[in-house]
Amino acid sequence: MKATILHAPGDIRLDEVPDPVLVAPTDALVRVTASCVCGSDLWPYRGINDVAEPTRIGHEFVGIVEEVGAEVRSLRPGDFVIAPFMYSDNTCPHCRVGIQSRCSHGGFWGGEDRDGAMVDGGQGEYVRVPLADGTLVSTREVPDDSLIPSLLSLSDVMGTGWHAGVAARVSEGDTVVVVGDGAVGLSGVLAAARMGAERIIAMSRHASRQAVARDFGATDIVEVRGDDAVAAVKELTDGVGADAVLECVGTNESMHTAIAAARPGATVGYVGVPHGIEYPVRDMFVRNVGIAGGIAPARQYLPQLRDEVLAGAINPGAVFDLELPLTEVAEAYAAMDERRAIKSLLRP
Amino acid sequence: MKATILHAPGDIRLDEVPDPVLVAPTDALVRVTASCVCGSDLWPYRGINDVAEPTRIGHEFVGIVEEVGAEVRSLRPGDFVIAPFMYSDNTCPHCRVGIQSRCSHGGFWGGEDRDGAMVDGGQGEYVRVPLADGTLVSTREVPDDSLIPSLLSLSDVMGTGWHAGVAARVSEGDTVVVVGDGAVGLSGVLAAARMGAERIIAMSRHASRQAVARDFGATDIVEVRGDDAVAAVKELTDGVGADAVLECVGTNESMHTAIAAARPGATVGYVGVPHGIEYPVRDMFVRNVGIAGGIAPARQYLPQLRDEVLAGAINPGAVFDLELPLTEVAEAYAAMDERRAIKSLLRP
């Protein structure tokens, strides 16, 4: 089959690789009908994370079940399934409290499983899915093609934005600040709106992203950064600060902006992978500003968000503004790297 | 009147000072019937915090209202009142969401108020209380003398331990770890028990404190520290970690122990004043361990905890193991400094 391989920073190609086969009786084989490129895929693509050897890549996909192992109970060939960005058994103590991203037997796509068997990346034609019952979430019928972008977004960005909202404890009537206008930040805006936020202040300097943010429910846009952004939030909230803040970037500056924009007693829900963060320990203590979040348990939110997408209640797929055939995966990366696209969707 | 003054590290005396009088129409004058020494009073006493000039000290007291200003509505002379460790108007936006410790018009005892008028410390015969309606919580009748220690503990330590439990989101049936066996940590044990924790693991190396912890509801005691303490918690929880952790010390080691003892998805509720803390950023992200807390809004919890003390449901006053007349305030400090006492209560 064809699968995407990152050979070196900037060198991404669709290569011929061995067809995957079932290895464990809990595996399923999925034919990928849509996948996409994540902001986090850009870290190794840009060389910020090491690329020691050619690596399978991609961790967001939907598709059709082709074959299941003897112990798979909840799926059968022909089912349409959504894969979260990590696989998990959904039965261990961490999964049972909803932290599937820390599953005792789970892991990431594009590496080796705990038995040393290859786990495919999502940006390919087929994927062997370990722990299929715990990992995949199916729909009753194969959904209409127009819903694919929104269902695919539940693999990662929408589940991650939702997690930021849950972690920040967004409640009905809240004033919410969202730091970050990437696909996750925009999904965070949609999550906050769906959770009943009355006012959503999105930080964005890009007209196209501002437009999506407004579509998703942002009521105010702040175009400045750092202290100026905090001052703008204070001005919009009578000097009080936000009831909840979603941090969807992960840099030291964005985290400090998020914490400073939070009102006393508020929580910053963060999902941006931390890069060089030093928390303002004393300020957080004096103002009772908490932080919560981390690698999103996308699996936890999948059934609920799937139902909301199928019901037409949310359209998180609007974050995709570029669609390409899998053969043009290199352009899908380049467009995101050069900020010509918010998020690229790939079809076989 | 007589009031306690810290002249220099280790030099604490009961001195003659001017009698306080009402300054603002929102003031009340309170005759102190019991006060106490706080672990945080030991920071300047030990010279760890600067003592630039002789300073009034003490921020925990109960007493009888002697006189009220013309605008005081909820109190009258003769009322028994409990003072939280900060004064607050209880009407500003921060107070309204329960963060009275960040009141727009509030402040600490033993300094100057926002108009530059002297605010007495709690370890004296009388205190002028600013914003009396917002600050003081009264009882319907003057309570029995045996209840005074428990009511006094609501000024700070019990409210602070309670805040740690609220911040850590302790729920019915939880396994909770409490780091710290000072009066606040012990109060945290009591709070966790009252919040329905099924199992409470108290970290303590002192027999007398372990006894109070067990009285308050601790089911397990861990006597080791650091990595060994984390290993002990993991062993007690089948490798999972605690559902909620209360951090009641404030050092880097204690915070790292608290975070490492938390299961994925849990929150560390912290109330120890941070000294030299550097958070383990990556571990918190990977395991979804949040932190929440800060300077406790003791005022928020006072009415509820007062009722629980008056009903005999909790006895947080058990943290006091030394009672002295105010004239022996120097010994009250020395006993705590030398760890001969958990907490010293002072009567006029």
pLDDT, one tens digit per residue, over A193-239 is 999 999 999 999 999 999 999 999 999 999 999 999 999 999 999 99
Cβ(B162)–Cβ(B150) under 8 Å? Answer: no
d(CA A49, CA A46): 8
Whether residues A297 and B286 touch (CB distance < 8 A) is answered with no
Which amino acid does the sequence have at B288? N
What is the predicted pLDDT for the residue at A49? 84
- Cβ B94–A278 below 8 Å, yes or no? no
B102 touches chain A (CB under 8 A): yes
Determine contact, residues B234/B253, Cβ cutoff 8 Å.
no
Inform me whether the C-beta atom of residue B242 falls under 8 Å from chain A C-beta atoms: no
Burial of A65 (C-beta count, 10 Å sphere; 0-12/13-18/19+)? buried
Give the chain B residue whose CA is nearest to the CA of A280. Answer: B278
| pLDDT given at position A143 | 98
Q: Is residue A92 within 8 angstroms of chain B, CB to CB?
A: no
What is the Cα–Cα distance from A79 to A76, expressed in whole angstroms?
Answer: 6
Q: How many CB atoms lie within 10 A of CB A73?
A: 9
Residue A288 backbone dihedrals phi, psi, to 5 degrees: 55, 45
A91 and B CB contact within 8 Å: no
Where does residue B291 rank: exposed (0-12), middle (13-18), buried (19+ CB within 10 A)?
buried
Closest-CA residue of chain A to B252: A281
Q: Which residue of B has its CA nearest to A252?
A: B281
For the four alpha carbons of A315, A316, A321 and A323, in that order, the dihedral sign comes to negative
Return residues 42-71 of B near A (CB < 8 Å): none
Task: Report yes or no: B142 at the A interface, CB cutoff 8 Å.
Answer: no
Query: For residue B51, what pLDDT is reported?
Result: 86
The residue-averaged pLDDT of A132-147 equals 97
pLDDT at A51: 86
- Do A97 and B263 count as a contact with CB atoms less than 8 A apart? yes
Which one of A102, A274, A290 has the shortest CB-CB distance to B293? A290
In this structure, is the dihedral angle defined by the CA atoms of residues B72, B74, B76 and B79, taken in order, positive or negative?
negative
Give CA–CA dist A112/B325, Å, rounded. 69
Residues A48, A45: Cα–Cα separation, whole Å: 8
Q: How far is B21 from chain A (nearest CA, A)?
A: 31
| Helix, strand, or coil (residue B3) | strand
Query: Using an 8 Å Cβ cutoff, are A183 and A322 in contact?
Result: no
Angle formed by the axes of helices A207-216 and A183-194, to 10°? 20
Contacts of B221 (CB under 8 A, 6+ apart): B201, B202, B203, B204, B210, B213, B214
Chain A, nearest residue to B292 by Cα: A290
Distance CA B82, CA B80 (A): 7
Inter-chain contacts counted by CB atoms under 8 A, chains A and B: 108
Task: Please name the residue of chain A whose CA is at the shortest distance from the CA of residue B103.
Answer: A264
d(CA A175, CA A309): 25
Q: Which of B100, B288, B295 to mutate to test the interface with A (most CBs of A within 10 A)?
A: B288
> Please, what sign has the CA dihedral across residues B46, B48, B49, B53?
positive
Q: For all residues of chain A together, what is the average pLDDT?
A: 97
Which pair of tokens denotes residue B17?
């000072």
**Residue B238 touches partner A, C-beta closer than 8 Å:** yes
Kindly determine whether residue B287 and residue A98, on different chains, have CB atoms separated by under 8 Å.
no
Gap from A19 CA to chain B (nearest CA, Å): 32
Q: Which residue among B102, B278, B284 places its CB closest to the CB of A288?
A: B102
Please identify which residue in the block is written with the tokens 């970050």: A180
CA distance A291 to A319: 26
B167 touching A (Cβ < 8 Å) = yes
- pLDDT 10s digits, A61-90: 999 999 999 999 999 999 999 999 999 999
All residues of chain B having their beta carbon less than 8 Å from the beta carbon of residue A290 are: 167, 267, 290-293
Q: Measured between CB atoms, does A171 come within 8 Å of chain B?
A: no
Range(s) within chain B of domains with CATH label 3.90.180.10 = 2-156+297-347
Q: Measuring CA to CA, how many Å separate B189 from each of A67, B76, B195, B200?
A: 53, 35, 10, 7
The interface predicted TM-score (ipTM) is 0.96
Q: What residues does CATH 3.40.50.720 cover in chain B?
A: 158-293
Residue B173 sits at the chain A interface (C-beta within 8 Å): no
A105 touching B (Cβ < 8 Å):
no
Give residue B327's region: left, alpha or beta (phi > 0; psi -120 to 50): alpha
Q: Does B297 touch chain A (CB under 8 A)?
A: yes
State how far the alpha carbon of B238 is from the alpha carbons of A290, B234, B348, in Å. 28, 6, 51
Q: Which residues of A touch B258 (CB under 8 A)?
A: none
Q: Assess A97–B contact: CB distance below 8 Å, yes or no.
A: yes
d(CA A117, CA A25): 13
Ranges of chain B with pLDDT below 70? none
Rounded Cα–Cα distance for residues B17 and A167 (Å): 51
Which residues of B are less than 8 Å from A160 in CB distance? none
Distance CA A246, CA A215 (A): 18
Q: In chain A, which residue's Cα lies nearest the Cα of B163?
A: A288
Q: Hey, are the CB atoms on A290 and B287 less than 8 Å from each other?
A: no
Query: So what's the pLDDT on residue B268?
Result: 98
**Does A287 reach chain B within 8 Å, measured CB to CB?**
yes
The owner of tokens 């006053």 is: B317
- Does the domain at A158-293 match CATH 3.40.50.720? Answer given as yes
pLDDT of amino acid A48: 86
> Measured between CB atoms, does A285 come within 8 Å of chain B?
yes
Tell me the nearest-neighbour CA distance from B288 into chain A, angstroms.
Answer: 5
Task: Give the model's pLDDT for residue B136.
Answer: 98
Instruction: Please tell me if residue B263 touches chain A, with a CB cutoff of 8 Å.
Output: yes
Largest CA distance in chain B: 61
Are A273 and B288 an interchain contact pair (Cβ–Cβ within 8 Å)? Answer: no
- Contacts B288 to A, Cβ<8 Å: 99, 101-102, 292-295, 297
Q: What is the pLDDT of residue B289?
A: 98
- The single-letter code of the amino acid at B76 is R
Residues of B in contact with A294 (CB under 8 A): 284-289
Tell me which architecture the domain covering A2-156+297-347 has in CATH.
Answer: Alpha-Beta Complex (3.90)
Q: Which pair of tokens denotes residue A127?
A: 């994927």
